[in-house]
Structure 1
Amino acid sequence: MKHSTRSSALRRLASVAAAGAVVAAALVGCSSSGNGSGASSTDVAAALKQGGTITYWTWTPAAKAQVAAFEKAYPKVHVKLVNAGTNTTEYTKLQNAVKAGKGAPDVAQVEYYALPQFALSDSLVDLTQFGFDKLKKDFSVGPWNNVNVQGKLVGLPQDSGPMAMFYNKTVFDKYGISVPTTWAEYVDAAKKLHAADPNAYITSDSGDPGFATSMIWQAGGHPFQVNGTKVMINLQDAGTKKFTTVWNELVENKLLSQTPGWTDDWYKGLGNGDIATLITGAWMPGVLESSVPQASGQWAVAPIPTYDGKAVNAENGGSSEVVMKQSKNQALAAGFLKWLNDSKQSVDIFVKSGGGFPSTVADQDSDSFLNQAPAYFAGQKINKVLVDGAKNVLPGWQYLPYEVYANSIFADTVGQSYSSATSLDSGLEAWQKQLISYGNQQGFTVKAG
């Protein structure tokens, strides 16, 4: 699930501190790996039958109903449900527990971009010991790629974020704008819209690290190459340049709204037509329905534009669940995790809660899911578009093992290009320089690509 993507200064500072804590813990060998039951306790079915108590940290709204359904199915198991805070807040607590060697839950929600940091600290159970690697066919390619880190299966996907273009059809029709299928057409649409109405913009983007990296991913970029503690960063590679060539035209010509995302003004712009599209993850419908109700019937969904008309996509947002090595009953925790993210009952609860877009192929391909026709989207069967997008996600993307820190300094580097309406390339160069310096200071071997 996607949450706030542009932090305040205080939140960025907290994120920097949290990132430093887990990186330092990992590189000095301080982890919780010695406290779990390990591969000697792999009988998940037996553990579920025997029962016990486990703790689950999550912020998803569906969690309470999911836990209740699980405990009904497995009455000998008790799950202590804890909302430890959203993303960075939870990660700080989790990283402190990793560093201390105690206090971690049995199961925790971790977004895909943050997984490498916890995997690096050897604080996550490799789920292949439970045979969960055989579940690959159950999940779409993007999320499955994200939970496989450095040759280990460190979690199971909770939800997925294949990107799509959400657009205000009412605005497009008003100004005679065709739905763009390529990025060149998207830029043309941006110019036509803003010329017709100086208050209207094709989209808003004041500098979002998750969006930028997803766009680089969709363009075929591989700016981060990670092999253990060896890292190569090239934010000037061919894919990155492909993205910036398009996006610079929007930035430099001031064709993007600078309204920060997830603010009252942003929601207002989505509601009154001042922000005409969103290029974002498939979890967005629930956000629009709940937060922009006044625009019901106006919005539609189309595939994300591409560079040459060939269908290709990336992920934006989404979370996994992991089993922490500190767990004293890893087999039981793994059993709960498998039920949570790979059972129809649990996934149905999750989807109906509006919490996100499923990562399970069976749910994506079900007739009931594909034929949903939300009134908010004027009866369009939007899931058919979103599921097609999930099938076109490029494999092989890697996040940095200190991505939380990387995101925290994006506003102070690349964000400056947005605010000054100048080329993103210079901002990306500044970001790369700081990322290389930070990584080497933390004990990684980081080089420019």
Structure 2
Amino acid sequence: MKKNPNIVIKFTNAGSSKDEYKALNNALEAGSGIPDIAMIEYFAIPEYVIKGSLKNLNDYGTAKYKDFYTPGTWNAVNFNGGMYGMPVDSGPMAFFYDKEVFDKAGISEPPSTWDEFYQDAKKIKQIGSYITNDPGNAGFFNAMVWQAGGHPYSTSKDGTKVTVKLTTDKGVQKFCDFWQKMIDEGLIETKTKDSSDDWYRSVGSGEFASVISAAWAPGMFLNNASEGAGKWRIAQMPTWNAGEKVSSENGGSSLALMSSSKNADAAYKFMEFASTNSDAIMSRVDQGGFPADLKTMSNDKFLSQTTMVNSDGDTVDYFGGEKFNAEFAEAAKRVTSKFEFLPYDVYARSVFTDTVGAAYMGQTTMKEGVKAWQDKLVEQGKSQGFTVNE
């Protein structure tokens, strides 16, 4: 680290997502082996703030970076008046589609509304494909509810009260009604686990005509569904009302400073460098990451990118010459910033499959699954000492 040569950084790979959180939680419970810095996804930040595990970065004057980051990522690391992470990447949602399949179905443009998406799904089914796949994924569910204007969760400023209103939230109800119709009419494929080998084969073969995913997906397409190269394109997410410019996020992570750190000042210097220095940011972008800052998203080289380099070192025009980063940058601008995660969202996602997920297999309905999910979340909140409102 040339700017601070006296600071030595030791990296430890504790796995991703739930594996990392398990290792981190074990260290916190034991009171030993706790890192100075942890990479924490946006949805998990409230959980660790409530536990008292993260240091409030406002003490370092981080308010000056409010206009540096996108509204969505800035909001994601701010909780109850404090800032608890430095955003390093983001996941604005977009609509990926196989142009060959759409052309074959007689569809000249990607859907701009969810009603058009429904109509297109019927046309695509007639030629033997599905407009998309969803086996029941909590991250995707939240992103869709977010875009629909949902606000099913909130936490009081003192961190003692939680509101869980999945069964009455208008955004949740809107998405559930629509997705239930798609499932009932057999318009989406629900059996193939996302990101599995079979899933990538279906993406490459045209069985799945579109994927509603985030800006981190292109590299995964490139290296795991190479048969789709040149066929796929990217557009903005369909919206609920014509003419709207609304998107959401799925994924993204931050560097968080653990409150137990004995090297807090040095750790913050590294965090600040890694998350705001242009060279540091571009080193991640070059490996397929999508930035969280507005400056990079307005960089001409970044916005004009039309190709990617795969794991074999080959340059691939996967999206037919499209400037895909420009689409994602526009999606990032459309993200509505007012969405809260539960202060135990890691747990919430772990029980999604057994509740709402059952609806995708026809074992219950979306709304019944949501009710079962809510019951578990209310019970968990109370067991954690929260006052829970429904």
| Superposition TM-score tier, normalisation by shorter sequence | over 0.9
Aligned equivalent of 1:155 = 85
Return the match for 1:183 from 114, 117, 120.
114
For 1:424, give the aligned amino acid. M
The whole-number CA distance in structure 1 between the counterparts of 2:262 and 2:79 is 23
How far 1:329 sits from its partner (Å)? 1.3
Return the match for 1:438 from 354, 368, 380.
380
Aligned equivalent of 2:150 = 221
Aligned equivalent of 1:398 = 340
Contact kept in structure 2, 1:181 and 1:304, CA below 8 Å = yes
Name whichever structure is richer in helix by fraction.
1
For 1:289, give the aligned amino acid. L
SS in structure 1 opposite 2:9?
Answer: strand
TM-score, scaled to structure 1: 0.82
Return the match for 2:51 from 121, 124, 132.
121
Aligned equivalent of 1:321 = 255
Aligned equivalent of 1:423 = 365
Aligned equivalent of 2:311 = none
Identity value in percent: 42
For 2:35, give the aligned amino acid. P
Return the match for 1:414 from 340, 351, 356.
356
The whole-number CA distance in structure 1 between the counterparts of 2:49 and 2:318 is 40
Contact kept in structure 2, 1:160 and 1:357, CA below 8 Å = yes
How far 1:421 sits from its partner (Å)? 6.7
Q: Deviations over 1:85-134 (max 9, x none)?
A: 11111111111222223321111101111111111111111111110121
Contact kept in structure 2, 1:252 and 1:422, CA below 8 Å = no
The whole-number CA distance in structure 2 between the counterparts of 1:351 and 1:98 is 31
For 2:344, give the aligned amino acid. Y
The whole-number CA distance in structure 2 between the counterparts of 1:378 and 1:421 is 40
Q: Deviations over 1:408-436 (max 9, x none)?
A: 01010001111017531111111111111
Aligned equivalent of 1:338 = 272
Aligned equivalent of 2:127 = 196
The whole-number CA distance in structure 2 between the counterparts of 1:446 and 1:252 is 33
TM-score, scaled to structure 2: 0.94
1:240 has 2:169 as partner: no
The whole-number CA distance in structure 1 between the counterparts of 2:186 and 2:386 is 38
The whole-number CA distance in structure 1 between the counterparts of 2:350 and 2:269 is 34
The whole-number CA distance in structure 1 between the counterparts of 2:364 and 2:101 is 28
How far 1:345 sits from its partner (Å)? 0.7
**Unaligned 5+ runs, structure 1:** 1-70
1:99 has 2:29 as partner: yes
The whole-number CA distance in structure 2 between the counterparts of 1:107 and 1:260 is 32
The whole-number CA distance in structure 2 between the counterparts of 1:295 and 1:307 is 29
Q: Deviations over 1:26-58 (max 9, x none)?
A: xxxxxxxxxxxxxxxxxxxxxxxxxxxxxxxxx
For 2:339, give the aligned amino acid. W
For 1:86, give the aligned amino acid. S
Aligned equivalent of 1:212 = 141
For 2:112, give the aligned amino acid. T
How many residues get paired? 375
RMSD of the alignment, in Å? 1.1
Q: Deviations over 1:255-306 (max 9, x none)?
A: 1112110111001000100011111111111111121112110110000000
Aligned equivalent of 2:220 = 287
